[in-house]
Structures are given as structure tokens and as C-alpha cells.
Amino acid sequence: MKIIFIGDIFGQPGRRAVKSILPEIKEKFAPDFIIANGENAAHGAGITPKTAEEIFSSGIDVITGGNHSFDKRVMWEEWDKFPDLLRPLNFPEQVPGKGITKIEKNGFTLAVVNLQGRVSLPPTSSPFEAIDKLSHTIKADALIVDFHAEATSEKIAFGYYADGKVSAVIGTHTHVQTNDAKILENGTAYITDVGMCGAINSVIGLDREIALKRFITLLPYGFKVGEGRAKCDFVYIEINKNGKAEKIEPHTIAEKD
């Protein structure tokens, strides 16, 4: 089984990059499934029905989320209309949506789980306890986890904890692709952060001039998405018939000039 996992889609430049770069990704890697984190897809914070439809129509099979998933209130009543749009599973049960989905394609069944870390993020229930329960109950050829977390230590710890229980743990949230993609001892593919789809000359997707003003002055300058040429960070994963990962490769493709 071949899987592409695309980093956090940030605003219109990120959505545009996915649409323009995805055909090249498909031609080069011939993936069975494509997953993308979309919690920043609508103007860099949250997701809307329109942006969700745009991302799915570009060829994405599953959209995962995170702490910004519900930043756009217009989505609160619409979330359940999208069966393969996820928010973290360890959010409170009364929150709209779900944290896991299963999809079938090309003779394979893939389960995708979205979990959020607890260090320097709003409080949630334990992602460690959640994965213990899921790994014993989910029936699929492979199980991929989007672990949306701030602290690299928490991501690494979760990767080791989930090793052998899931096929891959893909870190999201910090928007900078890390140089630690590997197969763990018990067959789980791992990377601390897959990166993002967004403006190249930005501060993790934000307009760099606005970001600099905020850091230098500590004043709450307005939020603005970075513009210009964009790129997509992603990982390519191969999983064998036993649900174990055999390959994980990080990649970055930029829009054409």
C-alpha cells in the first residue's frame, strides 16, 4: 500500500499549491491514498465547507485537523456533512465530527486517526490511552495517525508508544518538516513533523512582515496569510500486507515559477 501524507494546508496559497502540485505527486508516486492536514486551510485558521470541498475535489481522500479545526464557526453545523473530515479523536465527545475514518480503495482498507497532544495546547483526554483502545479494535490493512502536537518530545514519545500498534505516526502542527523520518523498531513509520503547504517566503505560513512586527514589538498586529510562490511538504509511505511500514520518505515540491 502506498500513502501520501501532505503537511498542514495554510490558507489560499496552500490550497493552490495542493491543486497544482498534486498531479505531479500522483504521477511520481502512484499512491493508493492521499491524506492532508487541513486545520489551517481557511485563511490560515480553521476550515470552512467551501475550503473542505475544494481540498477534497483536488484529490485528497482524508482531511485531518487539530487545535484550529473549529476556528471558523460556520463549520460547526456543517462538519458532519463530510464523513472523511476529521478533528482530533481526544476532543470532548459532544464536539461535532469524529476522529477516525476508514476508506477503501484499490483493494485496501485504510484507517486514519487524528489525535492531539497535550503539551502547550488546549487540554484534551490522553492520546496515549486513545491509541491503546483503538489499536485493539480497528480492523484495517493499515492504520495511520496524524499526531497534532506542539512539543517535539511529546511527538517522539508518542511515536515510540504507538510503535507496532499502528502503521505510521505523522506529526503535524509546527509547519516545519523535520529531518527524522524513520521506521521504528516494531514497524511503525515516524516523522516528528511533515511540514506544510503554504507560501515559501513566510513565517510558517504567515506574512513575514506582520510576523516580524509581532515578535519585535510584542503588539497584536493583525493576522495575515503569507503570499507568493508556495510549496508542499509531504511524506511518501509504503506499508506491507501485515500493516508494517517498509518505507517513509520526506519530500518538498514547489510551485513552478
Domains of the chain listed by start with CATH number? 2-254 (3.60.21.10)
Confidence at 153, pLDDT banded by 50, 70, 90:
very high
Q: Can you tell me whether residue 130 is helix, strand or coil?
A: helix
Cell of 58: 483536488
Q: Please give the pLDDT value at position 223.
A: 85
Question: Is residue 134 pLDDT above 90, yes or no?
Answer: no
Question: Is residue 137 pLDDT above 90, yes or no?
Answer: no
Cell of 10: 495554510
Question: Is residue 101 pLDDT above 90, yes or no?
Answer: yes
Radius of gyration of the chain (CA): 17
| Residue 10: HSE in the Cβ half-sphere, 13 Å Cα cutoff | 31
Q: pLDDT per residue over 195-245, tens digit each? A: 999 999 999 999 999 999 999 999 989 889 999 999 999 999 999 999 999
Angle at 56 between CA 194 and CA 149, to 5 degrees: 30
Question: Is residue 135 pLDDT above 80, yes or no?
Answer: no
What pTM does this model have? Answer: 0.96
148 is catalytic: no
Which residue is catalytic, options 43, 68, 148, 251? 68
Q: Please give the pLDDT value at position 133.
A: 86
CB 38 within 8 A of CB 55: yes
How far apart (Å, rounded) are the C-alpha atoms in residues 170 and 21?
A: 20
Calculate what percentage of the chain has a pLDDT beyond 70.
100
